[in-house]
Structure 1
Amino acid sequence: MDKELIISETIEKYEKYINPAIARLFRFMGLATIEWQAEGDIIRDIDGKEYIDCLGGYGVFSLGHRHPKVIEAVKKQLDYMPLSSKVLFNKPMADLSEILAKITPGDLQYSFIGNSGAEAVEGAIKLARVYTGREKVIATANAFHGKTMGALSATGRDVFSRPFRPLLSGFSHVSFGDFSELEKVVDENTAAVILEPIQGEGGIIVPPQDYFAKVRALCDKLGVVLICDEVQTGLGRTGKMFAVDHYGVVPDIITTAKSLGGGVMPIGAFTARPHLWDKYIESPFLHTSTFGGNPLACTAAIAAIEAIIEEKLAEKADQTGRYFIDELNKIQKQFPAVVKEMRGKGLMIGVELTKEGIGGFLMSELIAQGVLVAYTLNNPNVIRIEPPLNISRDRVNKVVGAFRDAIEKANDMIDDF
């Protein structure tokens, strides 16, 4: 196998058939290689170089890569039926929906299984509108809910939405975490308020502790549906099974995806309280998906949730995250000219830098040291850290050491940024 030929041909195909700008960006970041094999918290490129995965597919790989329980379940299901006929009962989808009802907060009960986080958000918005008969949806600035037209209408960054306007009508945005601002715009014509419990792409922004309780009370008062987008925060990432559990709040609809597939299959879902489901019970084909709820993806999701529970990964994320943030805070105190703040919950951590230009430099330095990270999509000043929830303390220490070296180099050349 001629590795250099494979690399050059792959990059050439990116330039010719995918997007030349992506190829240029990867090269600039020192990523002119091919991902080849992965296991646990390690990715190996075609040359065998190892990288500690601290990006985790933007939250996909909570179990790490190729978790044996999920792989075994998927292989077994392949011998039975990978996709659904859609006309007979589907046991894996029924089993997964039952599990989602059991692990989600409060009385959330009915689920629709789709293929992605954006689809889950689309479905949640549709359900809120059909249930209330209202149009208005309130989201937040710098939120990220996906890039399909409905989800993009809720996503709070103009750089993504402006080229596709007009989007869906009835959407408006307020500052995240500012209840007084939200209170001014929510009224009897509002169908839903959609919020991330912690803003991910917005820069790992944690709201005030009492924010969600106030939002819940406001929605109850005005008959507004509260949608919590847990596509990135859910299933143990923040040290609880769901991030809203930190606030003691039960949403009306919760969305899941990313890590729901166990790092093996794409899958998304929205789960709702029973009274919201009445319109779908009256007309069960109002919202459907050809591939949604397929046995292969549902089997992966069941295995993933079982592994999260059996291995106590939410608890591990909490413990490891506290240690990780403490160690990074020591670096921040040593180099305040480079690092403004460390924040997050569990293993959803943001490193906010003092200057935007530092982010690309740090990414390149960390990649060279075998640590994969990226900045948040809506805030390039923030480097995100989202490793597998079962990452070892030894790996964490290696990542902290790499960060310290990279930040020290940035500090030496701070005036150049």
Structure 2
Amino acid sequence: MKLFDVYPLYDVTPVKAKGIEVWDDKGEKYLDFYGGHAVISIGHTHPHYVKRIKEQLDKMAFYSNSVQNPLQTALAEKLGTLSGCENYDLFMCNSGAEANENALKLASFHTGKSKVIAFTNSFHGRTSAAVAATDNPSINAPINKQQEVTFLALNDFDAFEKAINSDDYCAVILEAIQGVGGLDEPSTEFFQFIAKKCKENNVVLIADEVQSGYGRSGKFFAFQHHGIEPDIISIAKGMGNGFPVGGILIHESFKPSYGLLGTTFGGNHLACAASLAVLEVLEDENLITNAAELGSYFKEKAEEVPEIKNIKGKGLMIGLEFDFEVAALRKKMIVEQHMFTGSAKNKYLLRFLPALNITKSDIDLFFEALKKALK
């Protein structure tokens, strides 16, 4: 048997990692400024994270959600406190796509409707409703296209008001900072307008924080830059620092019932141990503040590079836009400078998504390498 060939791969084989440092099978060291799609939030093999998972593995790795699991309760309490979202309930699953799938399903249950409003260049996952709400026809199979989704441009007030007033929608799903799409953001005025219109029309507002959450933007959630309160918040990526885990935060105004949502692996003991470790490190090392401060420092350094035409994003979720396609530059950064960066649907954009405990020295090294690669 061979692997189903769906990923274009760089010729790098990582075998060991610590912090933002990654070593390949030839002993070469790389610096990871991409974190595997913003997944590595507290650094590779953080000692507290490793200890937490090892201790739990020695006790018990898994049992289903048919029994009590105090780790889930502890995680919900810790997450509510650190995020400021105490008036939400937690449902755990295994990935960002599954989180958004459950969010959309719950919105449909709640409203009795099925149509969704999403936005141009959005990315919400690769499963049924989540991929239908993703603005990429090439990954939408005919079976996904049965879902009814209206795509609107960000910050188009008139188009949004016209659509939502048609009274056909169960949900609006929105990334506070677009990830794969290229770091575009709704304005505060637009986000607040969406929240107001959703309330008026009994439409569920879903904040997709799969990539922008967990401190990456310089606040726990990126929507918190805009002073709104979503009905459902989807989370994953940095939640487990590499352990597969996801979830949704559901406003307390939603009433649960047995069988409404379900999962076999979601919220398992190892997932909870990993997720608790991430929250503990975020708090103990003050990493959300670090993300905000180093995001500002990064932008200052970026402004010194004349080839960079635009800087997008917040905190340590940043896009550098050039006036040329960056595929060759990204390859040079890996092959010649031994640094991982990310791409986007916007082919002119280089994405920077490191662990939240990087330092100014790490950023200095990045820009030294970038300037060499641009020559």
Q: Which TM-score band applies after superposition, normalised by the shorter structure?
A: over 0.9
TM-score normalized with structure 2 length: 0.95
* CA deviation after TM superposition for structure 1 residue 234, in Å: 0.3
Alpha-carbon distance in structure 1 between the residues aligned to 2:199 and 2:145:
28
Q: Does 1:287 align with 2:261?
A: yes
Who is 1:214 aligned against? 193
Contact 1:124 1:227 in 2 (8 A): yes
Q: Deviations over 1:305-349 (max 9, x none)?
A: 111112111110111111111111210xx23xxx33112100001
Who is 2:102 aligned against? 123
Q: Deviations over 1:363-398 (max 9, x none)?
A: 12111211111211x222211000111112111101
Q: Does 1:160 align with 2:139?
A: yes
* CA deviation after TM superposition for structure 1 residue 286, in Å: 2.5
Who is 2:320 aligned against? 351
Q: Does 1:63 align with 2:49?
A: no
2:303 aligned to 329, 341, 344, which one? 329
Q: Secondary structure at the match of 1:330?
A: coil
Correspondence 1:224-263 to 2 at 5 A: 224-263=203-242
Who is 2:342 aligned against? 374
Who is 2:164 aligned against? 186
Residue 306 to residue 179, structure 1, CA distance change in 2 (3 Å): farther
Alpha-carbon distance in structure 2 between the residues aligned to 1:107 and 1:226:
18
* CA deviation after TM superposition for structure 1 residue 191, in Å: 0.8
Q: Which amino acid aligns with 2:284?
A: E
1:172 aligned to 140, 146, 150, which one? 150
Alpha-carbon distance in structure 2 between the residues aligned to 1:68 and 1:179:
47
Q: Secondary structure at the match of 1:137?
A: strand
* CA deviation after TM superposition for structure 1 residue 166, in Å: 4.8
Q: Deviations over 1:198-221 (max 9, x none)?
A: 111110112223221111111111
Alpha-carbon distance in structure 2 between the residues aligned to 1:201 and 1:326:
24
Q: Secondary structure at the match of 1:51?
A: strand
Contact 1:136 1:192 in 2 (8 A): yes
Q: Which amino acid aligns with 1:173?
A: F
Alpha-carbon distance in structure 1 between the residues aligned to 2:183 and 2:67:
43
Contact 1:107 1:273 in 2 (8 A): no
* CA deviation after TM superposition for structure 1 residue 223, in Å: 1.2
Contact 1:137 1:190 in 2 (8 A): yes
Who is 2:327 aligned against? 360
Percent identity of paired positions between Structure 1 and Structure 2: 36
Residue 206 to residue 271, structure 1, CA distance change in 2 (3 Å): same
Residue 166 to residue 297, structure 1, CA distance change in 2 (3 Å): closer
Contact 1:240 1:318 in 2 (8 A): yes
Who is 1:390 aligned against? 357
TM-score normalized with structure 1 length: 0.86
Alpha-carbon distance in structure 2 between the residues aligned to 1:301 and 1:285:
24
* CA deviation after TM superposition for structure 1 residue 135, in Å: 1.3
When the two chains are superposed, the root-mean-square deviation of aligned CA atoms in Å is 1.6
Aligned residues: 373
Contact 1:196 1:228 in 2 (8 A): yes
Contact 1:149 1:168 in 2 (8 A): no
The structure with the largest helix share of the pair is 1
Contact 1:179 1:211 in 2 (8 A): yes
Contact 1:262 1:303 in 2 (8 A): no
Q: Secondary structure at the match of 1:173?
A: strand
Residue 164 to residue 102, structure 1, CA distance change in 2 (3 Å): farther
* CA deviation after TM superposition for structure 1 residue 222, in Å: 1.0
* CA deviation after TM superposition for structure 1 residue 106, in Å: 4.7
Q: Secondary structure at the match of 2:244?
A: coil
Contact 1:206 1:344 in 2 (8 A): yes
Mean CA deviation greater in 292-301 or 97-106:
97-106
Contact 1:216 1:249 in 2 (8 A): yes
Q: Secondary structure at the match of 1:289?
A: coil
* CA deviation after TM superposition for structure 1 residue 99, in Å: 2.4
Structure 1 unaligned residues grouped into runs of 5+: 1-12, 410-417
Q: Secondary structure at the match of 2:173?
A: strand
Q: Secondary structure at the match of 1:275?
A: coil
Contact 1:350 1:385 in 2 (8 A): yes
Q: Secondary structure at the match of 1:18?
A: coil
Contact 2:132 2:144 in 1 (8 A): no
Q: Does 1:405 align with 2:355?
A: no
Alpha-carbon distance in structure 1 between the residues aligned to 2:146 and 2:91:
22
Who is 1:4 aligned against? none
Q: Deviations over 1:276-326 (max 9, x none)?
A: 2x2x32xx1132111111011011101101111121111101111111111
Alpha-carbon distance in structure 2 between the residues aligned to 1:392 and 1:51:
16
Alpha-carbon distance in structure 2 between the residues aligned to 1:303 and 1:144:
28
* CA deviation after TM superposition for structure 1 residue 134, in Å: 1.2
Bigger Rg over Cα:
1
Residue 100 to residue 179, structure 1, CA distance change in 2 (3 Å): farther
Correspondence 1:129-140 to 2 at 5 A: 129-140=108-119
* CA deviation after TM superposition for structure 1 residue 405, in Å: 1.7
Alpha-carbon distance in structure 2 between the residues aligned to 1:191 and 1:113:
22
Q: Which amino acid aligns with 1:274?
A: E
Q: Which amino acid aligns with 1:267?
A: V
Q: Deviations over 1:229-252 (max 9, x none)?
A: 000000100100110111111100
Contact 1:143 1:201 in 2 (8 A): yes
